[in-house]
Structure 1
Amino acid sequence: MVLLDSESVVILRLRGPLELKCHADSTDVVLMQKAISRSFEDLRLQVKSESCVLAVCDSPVLIWPNKCVFEEITPDTPCEDVFQLIQTADQDPGGKRTKKKNRKGLSASVINLSLMMEATKPGPLSAPVLARTIQTSHFLRATLPVDCAVRSGCSDTIKDGCGRLLEALTRQLFDMEKATLRHMRGATLLVPEPLHFLLPEPNGLVTVVFPRGVPDNELEAQRRELHGKFELPDDRPYFRRANAYHFPNEPYKDGYLRNPHVVLTHPALDNGKVFSVQGFYSYHHYMQDRVDDNGWGCAYRSLQTICSWFQQQGYVERCVPSHKEIQQALVDVGDKQTSFVGSRQWIGSIEVQAVLDHLLGVTSKILFVSQGSELASKGRELANHFLSEGTPIMIGGGVLAHTILGVAWSETTGEIRYLILDPHYTGAENLQVITEKGWCGWKGPDFWDQTAYYNLCLPQRPRAI
């Protein structure tokens, strides 16, 4: 278990393939399971052997943890100092290595290591001996995707950190063995897959092994066991694959920005508190996905942001719907005519509510505000929504739609600020531009048209494990 509670924490992450090779003389399930268990025990012995090597990625550092041999560093080197040996780029146009960057040049406090095994052993080589045995046997082979993460303080030594990594790796191999035996399908092995999940405190970052290829809906019993083990409520998903922790030094493959609001400074209000979206979402805005929706697609984009939240919290597995899929959904529920598909017509909060219900099975509450000046009095309702549901809110009024990600509200003075994600942005995925130019930022009550009416769509969080 890893607690992520301080900027001074370094995460050591070890990844690498381990080959599971198993000979079985029979297809009898019990005998095959015993053979598989012996093969996992062999892997655990390899991890404890002197042939085990840990290589710090993008650096010349090699570590033989079981021999206490370190290249380029010493066993007493603080973990933080290892960052100084990590190179973040390969070569410049002149062929020279770029300068080494210290920890401040890295995007996160994560040290990535690769697991390797020495193929040769020291000592004199003996002549090979061949033997021939005629018998029927079964050979099972699988590549295990090892992935361990442990917490280490910046002043902790690399020797201690590597020791904790090997302990975590040994535990993970036990978990992989358990998952393999639990989900065997005849003579077919399902590859065990480790995933990291960031749980509410005091749990922190934990690693769970699931069988690859088994859908989430078939793993509910195992998830319930995990909820009980970590004392988590059984009305919210914590261990679906979509909830897996994304390490901050890894880019998202889809290209969308996640949670741009987290870099913002909270507004200072007298006796004020901040209530904001829980979990992760993607920022969807004009001109993405090769769709020119400038001037008409703001509510579509706000809806896509909301859909991404439900996907990334593990409530749904379907992809974020496109504009045409949103339009088709409104046709399917009888809200629009067939000619609506492919058009450039606006939609509003009521349509967003209908699409969420039809495509995601998500219900929503609608909050009606007769004029923008009344929004300043809705602090309690909005604060309660983010406390209980934690979902992004779509707000539409006049010809504009926005996404509300949170409120800063003072119960004593009534002062309020709104955390707004603006879908009207047309530029690139540049976090600095988006936050500095106010496309994602805190807004006062005068942000709203004081005389226009507004409808707010407040999606409700499903109760699911």
Structure 2
Amino acid sequence: MVVSDSQSSDTGTILRVRGPLGLKCQLDSTDAPLMHKVISRTFGTLHSQVKSEACVLAVCDSPVIIWPNRGVHATPDEITPNTLCEDLQQWIQTDEQESTGKRSARKKNKKSSSVSIINLHLMMEATTTGPLPPPILTRAIQKSHFLSTTLPMDCVIRTACNDTIKDACERLVEALTHQLCEMEKVILQHMKGTMLLVPEPLHFLLPEPKGLVTVVYPAGVPDSQLETQRKELHQQFELQDDWPYFRKANAYHFPNEPYKDGYLRNPHLALTHPTLDNGKVYMVQGIYSYHHYMQDHMDDNGWGCAYRSLQTICSWFEQQGYTERPVPTHKEIQQALVDVGDKQKSFVGSRQWIGSIEVQAVLNQLLEVTSKIMFVSQGSELASKGRELANHFLTEGTPVMIGGGVLAHTILGVAWSETTGQIRYLILDPHYTGAEDLQIITDKGWCGWKGPDFWDQTAYYNLCLPQRPKTI
């Protein structure tokens, strides 16, 4: 478990190299020191391969192939060692362009603050030049163990606008060799007999200026057994011990990779912040998924809004690594309320509403998360809760469930002016019944900024403010 290349910048291009490297070695003894020596020697061979002229980096979805250790030779011939990294984007084809046979027309925009991702595939040439030596056949009978596994190499570097392919290749080869060192350490540290734990590289986005870093963990080992390593990482990067930066669930999700579960993440990021006189914006910290009516083949239209708001909150705790428990279903939520004595057994499977108090109870029962409850006797008072809500998002950063009458919503943030008292609420509406279409959801206001008149001015409201555990 160690960190590899990192650079902090809001602009530029991320180059990500992935590919399998086969680790195969024959162990003639089960003596630990001898096995470690053989494994280390095999890793030495892999180091040589990565640094050899046989190493090839192929830019995904393009005809571009680069030999980083052969003078940064590349094909097509238009690409030279001095070609800018960001210019590789011009060769990458989208699905639409593949169907028309046209080369990508992506243009570099130096004013853009977004970071583009270029994926590369790590390969090794199988053929060699020159005459091959004649084969030699030998026969030996001996008892031995043959270890074979695939190392999932996954390295990232962030380049600046003026970085060339030559610059990037030098850093990529360095990152690959560094990652092999860390994988060797993980394998030797966690090896039990002749059983190997496959090393797993994960990337984490730390607060600026630290940026994107890579950690190699043993695959299959839960976070609960990696606390010592996480503490070391927090010390190394001078991070406070109250946020799970290095839990596996908190691994960075690259923007060009879809989520497999189909839920939208953080739709509020597509919105423009409201402008208030001397106002500041305070928002949810981290990642959540948007849960709303009619998802999961569940017809809860008209009664399940608080359940969906609770699911959004639970997704936040799961995706920040505070819990490994999946987002609960409606029945699991109902069963939790029965288990704590809040409801009768007949409640399970019903279509009964729940409110903020029940949300608080379920979070405590299923996730061991405590919550504060804010009572508002009438909706008009919500306009004066800017300071409390701003403080919540500043210190806790969790989504807030608000229930009043027969409606429940999720508050993701507030824009608030301390001098004028003006306030806007960032609302995620669980009453949406359509497809996971980000444009519709934001254009139609299912996720959007609302004024104080959004609330029923005479109805009472309860707000559930989940408190995040102060842990790594």
Q: Same fold (TM over 0.5)?
A: yes
Q: Does 1:41 align with 2:44?
A: yes
Measure the CA separation in 2 of the matches of 1:420 and 1:354: 23
Q: Does 1:393 align with 2:418?
A: no
Q: Which residue of 2 aligns with 1:115?
A: 122
CA RMSD of aligned residues (A): 1.6
SS in 2 for 1:305: helix
Q: Which residue of 1 aligns with 2:153?
A: 146
Q: Which residue of 2 aligns with 1:411?
A: 418
Measure the CA separation in 1 of the matches of 2:419 and 2:468: 29
1:273-307 alpha-carbon deviations (Å, 9 max, x no partner): 11100000000011111111111110000000000
Q: Which residue of 1 aligns with 2:93?
A: 87
Select which of 20, 26, 45 maps to 1:23: 26
Select which of 134, 147, 162 maps to 1:155: 162
1:82-141 alpha-carbon deviations (Å, 9 max, x no partner): 11111111787xx75255241579x96100000000111110122211122333322211
Letter in 1 for 2:101: R
Q: Which residue of 2 aligns with 1:67?
A: 70
Deviation of the 1:308 alpha carbon: 0.1
Select which of 419, 426, 435 maps to 1:428: 435
Letter in 1 for 2:45: D
Q: Does 1:331 align with 2:335?
A: no
Letter in 2 for 1:136: K
1:230-253 alpha-carbon deviations (Å, 9 max, x no partner): 111122211111000000000000
SS in 2 for 1:401: strand
SS in 1 for 2:202: strand
Q: Does 1:354 align with 2:357?
A: no
Task: Report if aligned partners of 2:60, 2:119 keep a CA contact under 8 Å in 1.
Answer: yes
Counting aligned pairs with the same residue, the percent is 75
Task: Report if aligned partners of 2:263, 2:289 keep a CA contact under 8 Å in 1.
Answer: yes
Q: Which residue of 2 aligns with 1:364?
A: 371
Measure the CA separation in 2 of the matches of 1:316 and 1:100: 42
SS in 2 for 1:382: helix
Question: TM-score with structure 1 length normalisation?
Answer: 0.97
SS in 2 for 1:12: strand
The more displaced of 385-394 and 333-342 is 333-342
Measure the CA separation in 2 of the matches of 1:321 and 1:135: 54
Q: Which residue of 1 aligns with 2:54?
A: 51
Measure the CA separation in 1 of the matches of 2:290 and 2:107: 28
Q: Which residue of 1 aligns with 2:9?
A: 5
Letter in 2 for 1:102: R
The more displaced of 23-32 and 360-369 is 23-32
The more displaced of 21-30 and 242-251 is 21-30
Select which of 286, 290, 298 maps to 1:283: 290
Map 1:139-218 onto structure 2 (within 5 A).
139-218=146-225
Instruction: Quickly say closer, same or farther: Cα 1:331–1:104, change in 2 above 3 A.
Output: farther
Letter in 2 for 1:132: R
Measure the CA separation in 2 of the matches of 1:397 and 1:198: 37
Map 1:434-449 onto structure 2 (within 5 A).
434-449=441-456
Select which of 231, 243, 247 maps to 1:236: 243
Measure the CA separation in 1 of the matches of 2:100 and 2:310: 48
Measure the CA separation in 2 of the matches of 1:103 and 1:168: 28
Measure the CA separation in 2 of the matches of 1:104 and 1:249: 17
Task: Report if aligned partners of 2:279, 2:416 keep a CA contact under 8 Å in 1.
Answer: yes
Task: Report if aligned partners of 1:89, 1:98 keep a CA contact under 8 Å in 2.
Answer: no
Measure the CA separation in 2 of the matches of 1:328 and 1:5: 47
Task: Report if aligned partners of 2:410, 2:428 keep a CA contact under 8 Å in 1.
Answer: yes
Measure the CA separation in 2 of the matches of 1:108 and 1:207: 17
Task: Report if aligned partners of 1:306, 1:393 keep a CA contact under 8 Å in 2.
Answer: yes
Measure the CA separation in 2 of the matches of 1:19 and 1:181: 16
Letter in 1 for 2:22: E
Map 1:117-136 onto structure 2 (within 5 A).
117-136=124-143
Measure the CA separation in 1 of the matches of 2:35 and 2:233: 27
Instruction: Quickly say closer, same or farther: Cα 1:104–1:439, change in 2 above 3 A.
Output: farther
Measure the CA separation in 2 of the matches of 1:288 and 1:218: 34
Letter in 2 for 1:383: A
Instruction: Quickly say closer, same or farther: Cα 1:287–1:104, change in 2 above 3 A.
Output: farther
Task: Report if aligned partners of 2:8, 2:209 keep a CA contact under 8 Å in 1.
Answer: no
SS in 2 for 1:63: strand
SS in 1 for 2:185: helix
SS in 2 for 1:407: strand
Task: Report if aligned partners of 1:108, 1:249 keep a CA contact under 8 Å in 2.
Answer: no
Q: Which residue of 2 aligns with 1:100?
A: 104
Task: Report if aligned partners of 2:203, 2:251 keep a CA contact under 8 Å in 1.
Answer: yes
Q: Which residue of 1 aligns with 2:17?
A: 14
The more displaced of 388-397 and 148-157 is 148-157
Task: Report if aligned partners of 1:108, 1:248 keep a CA contact under 8 Å in 2.
Answer: no
Letter in 1 for 2:213: V
1:137-167 alpha-carbon deviations (Å, 9 max, x no partner): 2221110000000001233111211211111
SS in 1 for 2:366: helix
SS in 1 for 2:135: coil
Measure the CA separation in 1 of the matches of 2:185 and 2:424: 50
SS in 1 for 2:465: strand
Measure the CA separation in 2 of the matches of 1:311 and 1:229: 25
Q: How many residues align?
A: 462
Task: Report if aligned partners of 1:299, 1:346 keep a CA contact under 8 Å in 2.
Answer: yes
SS in 1 for 2:373: strand
SS in 2 for 1:173: helix
Deviation of the 1:225 alpha carbon: 1.2
SS in 2 for 1:301: helix
Measure the CA separation in 1 of the matches of 2:52 and 2:296: 50
Letter in 2 for 1:24: L
SS in 2 for 1:141: strand
Letter in 2 for 1:430: D
Task: Report if aligned partners of 2:97, 2:103 keep a CA contact under 8 Å in 1.
Answer: no
Structure 1 stretches (4+) deviating beyond 4 angstroms?
none
